[in-house]
Each structure stands twice: as C-alpha cells, then as structure tokens.
Structure 1
Amino acid sequence: MQLAQTGEALGASYRFSGRVGSGAVGEVWTVTAAADGRTLAAKVLRPEHADDPSLVERFVRERSVLLALQDPQIVMVRDMVVEGPRLAIIMDYVPGGSLRDALQQEAGALRPEDALNVTAEVFDALAAAHARGVTHRDIKPDNVLLARPWSERGQGDVRVSDFGIADVVGERVRQTTGLIGTPQYMPPELISQGRSGPPGDVYSAGVLLYELLAGRTPFAGPGTDFSVAYRHVSAQPPRIPVTDAVWNMLDRLLAKDPDQRPTAREAASTLRRLAPGLAGAAPLARAEAPADFDDVERPATVVRGAFTAAELDAFAAAPQDDGEVPELGEAGSATIARPMPRREVRPPKAVRPPEEDTVPFWRTRKALLLAGTAVLLLAAMVVGFIVLSPAHQAAPQARGERLAAQLQDTALPTGLTVSRSATYEPSTGEVRLTVTYAAQKAPLSGDLLEVVPALAETDACPAVTWDGASAGRNQASITGLDIECGWKVSGLAIPAGGSTQVTAKVPLAPADQQGLDAWLRAGSEATRRAIQDPTVNGTAYPVQRLQNVEVRTPARVVTPSPLTITLIPVWASGADELNPLYVSPASGKPSQMFEAVSGGEKALRFSDACGGALAVDSSGLTVTALQISPQCTVRASVGNFTDLQSPPFSITSRENSVG
C-alpha cells in the first residue's frame, strides 16, 4: 500500500512527485517545494509510527536536533511535516544513487582504493554526528548516497542518509527493549545486550567496508535473520585477500568488544592513510565461503525476544556444523524495527540437599535463628518504609527522557576555545559528554585538564570512559593542581583554525533538563577555577593555564653581537623565570611547553622596534644588535600572543662598554 499519490500535497509547502523506494519504516518520495520549485526527498513514515502519540511528540522535539545536523557528508534534513496521520522528513535529494547501486554496477566488489576512500567519507559523516550526540544505528550501502552517479564520482560525493529515521523511530523501538537495524550489519552488542551507540556505527561501517572490498558481507549466508545476526556474536569474520594493514584495520572495526574499536574520526584518518598504497589494485574476486565460521572463544548470549519463536526454533533445528556451507549470498538490505516484549525473570528456587537426619528443618536451631533474624529485618523494613514514605521524602522524578545541553567557554589567551555538549540517553543510563577544543592562530597540543564532576557534591567522582584521546586521573603530586574529579586528557593535536574532539561516557542519570545543565556548567566552572588558581606553580597544562608571555633582554647589549631574548611564561601565579618558554639564539630543540602553545618555531617571530638598530635574520628567530642606541626594544609574536614587546634596553659599543 502506497503512503502517498503522485501530485498529492504534503503539508502546505510540498507536493509529491514520484516514489523512489520503500523500507521497513516508510517510503521515499521526491517532492517539489512550492516556494521555489526545488526537488527534495521526503521519507514518509508508515501509519503505525504516526499513530503513536509518544513518537509524534518525540518527532517534533527532535526537529531542532536533526535540522542542526549539518555536515558535507550528511544528507541534510530541511523540514519535518506532521499532518494528520502522516509524518514526513524532508531532506535534500541526492540524485547519484546509493552504494548499493554502485556494488551492483560493479558486479561485486569495488577497487580497494575506492572502497577505502568512500568508507573514510562515511566515517567523516559518523564523526560529525557522534560529536553532536546523534547515532545512526543502521549504516549500510543503501543509506550511503552519492551526489553523482558512480561512474562520474569524485571526492566528497558521499552523503549518509537516514540519521533522523534511526534516531526518531529507534527510540520508539528501544522503549520496548527492541532492535532496529539490518541483520547483515548489526553490531554484536545490539544482539547480545539490546543496545548500541557510536561504536555500533563504527562496526556497521566496518561491515560496509568489508562488503565493498569482498562483494559480500562477512556473515552472509543461508538461514533466517537470526542465523545471520547470531554470527556477529559467535563467529569471526572470514579473512579476505587484502594487505595485512587493511585486514588489521578491518579486524579492529569488527571487534566484538566495542571498546576495542577505533572512533569514527580515527577510522577515517587510518583509511585515508592506507588508501594510496592500494592505487591500481584490481577488485577482489568474489570468494567462496569457508567450510565453517571460526567461533569466538566465549560467544555472548542473545537478548531474548529479539527474534520470534519460529525463528529461534528454525535456527535450533538447522544443522550448524555439518556439511559444506555454501557460498555467502548477497547482503540483505532490509531494515528491521522489532520491539522485544519484556519478560519477567524469576530466580530459580534454591534446592536444599536432603538432611541426613529426619528432624524437620523448621524445628532445627538454625531455622529458629533465621526466623528470629527475619522478624527483626521485617521490623526494620517497616520502620524504614514509614521514614521514607512520601510524607518524609519526595519521590524521585522519572528519568526516561532524552536530554541535551551545550556550553561554550570564552577563549583563553593561548587561543583555545572549549565547547561542551552533553546528551543523556535513558536507554543506556549514561551521559555522553563531547568536548570540542578549537584553536585560533596557532596549533595547540599537549595535556588538557577536564573536570567531570558528580551530580551532587556528596557523590563520589563518576567513572569515565574516554574516546578520542588517552586520559587518566589528574595527579596533584605531579601537576600541582589539587582538583576533585579532574582528568588529564593527553595526546591531542588541535590545528590552527581547526578543532578536535574527545568524548566521554559518564554513568549518570540527571533528573531533568535543569539537572543536566547544572552538571555541565559545574564541570566547566570547576575546570576554569583550577586553571586560574593563583596558588598553583609549575608548568602543567600550559595550553589552558598560560596567561601571557613576557619578552626579556639584558639591560645593556654590546654591538655587534646577538641579542639574548628570553620568553617568560606568565601564569595566574605570576611570571615564571625558572621555566622559560624559549631562549634566542636557540640551542637544541624547543621545550615541550613551547611546542604545546605555539606549534613550534614556525609560530615565533621577532622584529626590530628601534629604527634599524637591530637586524633580524630570515628565519625571524635570531636578532643581532648592530647600531648604538640609548633606548631600544624588540617585538615578538609567539602563537596567539601577537603583540609582545620587551622593556627598553641600551646598545653600546665595545669601547664604551670597557670604559
């Protein structure tokens, strides 16, 4: 049954043109915008979704999130239409077909270099979405579109679609502990735990890369959806004839443990590094399936209710190890959106071994002691119930709503700007914190301090799982900063005029939007107080703590001779003459502190501020006193500190100096 008709109006602004395709959650149509005649695409959701009031409410609430999800590699959502029983997401129309079409056009696999480059662009889109707290949950070739047909493709043509569908419809499914996705591409944690996040997207994109290289997905083959999905949990992907470096990357992407997979940003970088080495390599021949799949050592269990009883019975009855396994078939492309009924799990009754004597247990001394203890516990419970009743304590608020908050700090003197966004997902019971570090005029690097507080001051600091950088607890004995819940985030490189991100999973459940806002603000303020603490000495976290740079020279210089210039870091505690930032003329490599706040000597320049009495060499790093001058100064520019000037000094001749 079609959900629309050609020529029919969609809201007040669009009109249906032609049906493009259909899927598990709706149909895709081209629509014409009444305002300017543009051709757009509309995903019209099926009636069962439109009849769900909670989904409609979420649909409207998510509108701003999806409209803000803007990236060159993501199909942009332009509008949402809620009209009676009809829900539609209006998106850019991408005319070049999908990667599924490209695979069919190439009759199997793509050239390895093309496969890696295309998948790198998919990871770019995922990285942008993950940074905004949005997970796709259904990555597959059908949802990767091309701006131009495959035969005319170029760099930057990839567009990942259906982010909105996965996020909106997926929430409805998850509310009943369910699954959404395509069995050929489902991450194992979705099958074994019933939930998935950004690492699940990385896994699905790894399956996509495998398919682009091999012409088939790693676990494709005969059987039901369950048969295919369970292989993600229980089997290792068959090796394909690619280089060791490419296979090692595939192996990481397809790791059973989500924590062992790279982030989307890391994956994109690695694939781009490997792609040039595959230039000229021909597509792989479609390989035969192995006789059987290699089992993992400890396969996970499968979430009950994820598949129907008939599917489970068919899987149990089918021979799993006997006989030859045929060649893996085409990858399935049908998304399933399957709720899983909650089942009450009752613990098994304890079985007591028979007593050697014939005395009934209830008459034994042990039974009497247990009974007495039970009476005391029951009395304590009654008292506790009275004390903790609503008359004495307010009931906790429900925490079933997805929350999001954002906060941006003012720029620091080094040019560092920190933006934080937090998303609370009730399905996982976690807050996903995304910290974006941006640099202005100079690249920045080194360790950064990030405070991740508890929800309440009386709570212990939460456990944090970091992604995108290595991180460890701040050690006051080393850094000099005695800050509660502080983390040292290491290994970051922030390009000039660019940004980099790290994410953290924090097991917290804020009560409401106000609670999440307060928690995010508390972390920002605690970090600011720590880096601006005037009692702290030392050189830790220079990118955040450096307040200024002083240019020091000798009070008198003899001509002609090099001018010794020392750059002194200024912290909140004052100038630090014991740990100079840089000394010119330089000998040896610059300090790590200097590299961290400027990116190296290329960001340092000296200039003459006394009318030609000083000569600066072509590198801008060495200054020579040439002419006598009673009062002279030298200017400096280092990283984001661009208007520095020394105190006055005099230049004298050697004879005057001796005299």
Structure 2
Amino acid sequence: MQTTRALGSRYLLERELGSGAMGQVWVALDQRTGERVAAKLLRPEFARDPEILTRFVQERSILLGLVHPNVVRVRDLVVEGDDLAIVMDLVDGADLRARLRAAGTLPAGEAVRITVDVLDALAAAHQGGILHRDVKPDNVLLTADEPPTVLLSDFGIARLAQETTVRMTGVLGTADYMAPEVFTEETASAASDVYGVGILLYELLAGRTPFAGGGTGYAIANRHVTAEPPPVEGMPAALDAVLQGMLAKDPTRRPPAASAAAALRTALPQVADVAALPVAPQPRSWTAATTGPVPAFGVVGHRAPADIDPGRTNIKGAAAQDAAGPAAVTDGATPWVAPFGDHDDDLAGAQTMLRSPRSRPAEATAAAAPETEPARSWVRDKRTWLIGAGSLVAVGAVVGVVALTGGGDDAPRTPTGGGAAAAAEITTLAPSEQLPSGLTTVREAAYDPGSGSLTTTVTWSADVALAGPLFESVPAAGDGKPCPDAFWSVPAVRDVTAGVPATACGWEIPVDVPAGGSVTAEYTVPVALDEGEETQAMRERLSEQGTATRTALEGLSATAVYPAQRLDDLEVQIGGTVRVGAPVELVVLPVWSGTGSADNISVVFSSRTPQPTLLLEQLGGQLEVRTDDCSGSLAFTDRVPYANTIGSRCTVSVRLGGLEARSRTFDVLQNTAG
C-alpha cells in the first residue's frame, strides 16, 4: 500500500506510475494550485553528484521556458535533500510504444503526422539550445483525445547545447536510436536528435528499428556506424527519400528538424492513404555503408576537450541551415534529400569521421560483414566475433573481415571471409564471492587472441531484491597506466563518487538485482596476453578485479552509495531508559566495509519512523527484529519493540540478509509517570 509523502514544500507524491533506469515517475499533487502533475524522481545518488546539481540549477529557467504544443511542459525542478525531481504536466494517455506494440506497424499517414509533430517539438528545443538525446517511442506520448495530441517528453535529462556540440561524459540514450557520431566521437548535436527521429519513423513503418537484430548493444552500435538501413518493402518512395537524409551517417548531411518536418509535410498527401505495412523481417545480412567514410568504431574514453574536434558537426541556430541544408522545402513536389556525392575532401577537413583505428571490442568492426545463419544466435556459449583483419585506408574501408562463429563448446571456429584463421576463444571462471548483504558476484572472462580483446562477464545474484547501481573496477594494465576504455553491454558510466580514487578505474553499472534472480553485464577491453599463459593471466585479472572493486569502496564512510556492495555489519542502538508501557527507542545503523564503525548518518531502521527507509529498501527491505532472552517483557509491532513488563538484561536482535547484530543489554523499569 503506497502512502503519500512530501516532495519539497509544494508537492505531495501520491502514487507511483512507473520506474526506469533514471528513477521513478509519480502522480503528485501541487498543493498551491490543487492540480495533479507528474514528478520524475531521480535516483538519490544523483542528488549527491555536484555536477548534476549544478546542471539542474543552470537548466531550470531554460527548461521552464521550453513551451510548445508538442512538448510535455516542465513546470518545476526540485532539489531538496536526497530528492531531485522534474515536475511536468500529467498527460492522460499512453506512450507511442504502447500504440506500436498493439498495432505492429502504423499506416504511413499516421506515422508521418506523428513524426512531424515530434520534429516540430525538436525544432523549438534546438532553437532554444536544448538537445533531447533520447528520442524513442517510449518518450512520445499520445493523449486520449481523438485525434490524439503528440507530446515529446523527457527533456529533463537533456544536456544543454551550450556550445555547438555536447561533450558527453557517458553514453546517454538507447542504442537502437543513437546516431553514429555518439559512438565514434562521443558527441551529440541537433543532427543526432534528427537521426533518432529517423529511426523512430522507420520503426513506425517497419515495426522494427533498422539495426536491431542479433548481438549485444555493441553489435547494434556497429551497424549504426557501418551498415545501411535495410530497405523496407512497400515503403513509399517519397518517405524513403526523406529517411535517407535523416539517417545519413554524416551528421552535416542530415536536414535540420524544421527542414525534415517540412519535407514530410510535403510528402504527406502522397502517402496519406497508404495502409500499414507488414512487420519487416530481420535481414539475413547487412549492407556496408557507401555514402561516406566509415569511421573507426568505439566509444571514446574521457578525453580532454582540447582533443575533440567537433568539426562539421557544428549545428546550432542559424548555423544549422548552412551546415545541413535548406531551412524549408521550396519545391512543392520534391522532398528534401541529403546530398550525396564526391565530398571526401570536405569530410577530411572536418576530422570528425577519419581517425586511426582504435582498440575496440571484438564484436565491433570497422566494416559490416554478412552474418551467416548460425551467427544470429549470439549467445554466450556460441559467441560471434567480427574481427577487422585489414587496415583503415583513406575512405575508411577495411579489408579481410573474418567472422568467427561458435558452433558449440567443442566445435572449431572457422573463418567465413578473408584473412588467416584465428585462434579459438579461451574462457575461464573465477570463484564466486558472497557479500554480507547477500549479494553474490561471479566473474567470467573470455579472451579472443585474434583481436586481442578480453570480455569479462559479471553476474550478480541475491535472494532478496537489491537496488543498484553497482560498482565495478576495471583495473589498468599496470601501475601508472591509464584506465582502459571499457565497452559495456549496459549504459555504464565512469564512477565520480567522492572518496573513490580515480586510479580504481571504477564504473557505475545501472542495474538492480531481482529477488531470487540474477543480472548480468559484460565489458570488453583491449589486452595482450602471452600465448600459453592466457588462462592463468585471466584468472589473475579476475581476482585483481574483485580485489580492486572491494578496495576502491573502502575509502567511503558516511554515505549510502553502493550499499549492497559495502555493507559489512549492522549496529543496533537502544536509546535512553526503557520503561513499561513505552516503545523502545531502537536505531539500526550500517557499518560499511573498511570503516569498522557505524555510519550515524545513513539509517537502516528507526523505531521513531518505522516505515522502511530508502536504505533498507535498497538492501532488500527484509529486516527481522526480535528478542531472544526477554520475550516476556518485549512485544513487537511493525518491527518496533514495546516494553510490556519489568525485565532485566534484555536485548534486541536484528537480521538483514546474512547479517545478524544484537543491542547492548538493558533493563525494563517500572513506569514512574503519574
């Protein structure tokens, strides 16, 4: 049963609508106006990040000023204690994902009208210097009206385009909808949002995103960078022409949002009566992109701003028209099409798309290779690697691509393209480790000698639900060496927690562990292991990784970040004199690993406010409170002990996960009041 609670001084949270990686969405009451609003309550750890707090303050007036008929209006930003919330209009309706799930595909006219409204919303945002960076059907709302109003939501997580591009501190977004330059150059611009809308339009018409298919998020990212969107049978030519422009690999050759909207409006009369197409099947192979240079794949690590050349991705305000095409369509019969042709010289000057090959995960190649039928399983014990065996030339082409396809644990892996046969993958498993909170961690490593890449799979499990994010150290190759670039299967970000040394090379993994279940994440790093000693080296590395993870977190004290991995013990405190007829003042505090003493700030449980604390919920919520030797004197209601009769040498014990703790002894005295 949910109970209300205050959010700041103005709002009252009434009921939870849903939750996601960033936090929870609640229906809230605006106590000043009496209106119901939506409050997106971000995870508490964000409130402890000075950079995020600063950005909230900086963005408040700009986000509040973003008012458009197709934008879910941001009403307020709340910063108070551990509460960080975006207050928005409450929309009566459903998201576009639900509409698409029910229909499979949408008629062309409906798909175009929705897309035009989304582009109009983005055009207004871009004019105000705001990027969305996560356009997808889940963030497009349809009201219950007929016809429904289209509303683009979740601008609250957008970074401001204070310069002409945004320097990203981590990949923010959903792999299926992210532009190639986000993966290759770690920058996003207005053109990246347009690309996301192009993916959305493709999905509305085809029932699937163009690069979805077998493989991890890295395989999908690689297709964004290197492959052409598969053609959709039956797609009207007028729409296909606009899509080609919106999905151009080169961001400077995409139309601005306003131009794309104008082009689709021009095409609408030609497609208004086109029925919904059948859901497009997954392609059996992917065609390599031929409309420009193919950049070396890999999400760049945290480089200094001076090392980033945004080049021709400068798109903001009036500059967008010069860089990307006409602001509107003047020819009523011909939609805007991104110009293709001989433009290598222009792109070479930009320097954003031509770079030396980087060490990258084995599943990420600099050219798309056909996928054979067995390769589409992409399961852990039948792993498919795409290995670039050639070199990057002037236009970014790679020769000699080899696809190594596993046919089972004992099946030999054979090349399906040019180049020499590569050695088989080598795997090893480290012993599991169980923490006092009940969290169990298992690490498994797989080394591919052909590409010189090591993939580590981390599996966390527990009997109770443990809230993330979780922490994982990816150690450097040696003392004084820089932290390696890790390519994660989940949207992990570099850890910036105060007290965690930068040399720990830590990552924040946005996962929760389900009760009685497990959750897995994997990452790939370039590494060179000596032939014949790979297994031993991998075991040592896995052991070092576990040790480095624990050691890095031991520098923290009075903070509840990463509680499932840091909880070492509990301390039970009994306050004051205990008398008959009164509740016992009971407080349960965490003892974090490496500290040896209780954290008096982060409370697990208090009898004064018996509702579960956030920390207790993060640790599974199943706190047992009892007495072993004074049962005649103490009784318990909702974990709160009450003194019923006189007693001596009483104690209160608690149990949480695998931890048990007992209070000091105390006497229950006669109540002298009155």
TM-score category of the 2 structures, normalised to the smaller one: 0.3 to 0.5
TM-score (norm. length: structure 1): 0.46
TM-score (norm. length: structure 2): 0.45
Greater Rg by CA: 1
Query: If each structure's helix is expressed as a fraction of its own residues, which one has the higher value?
Result: 1
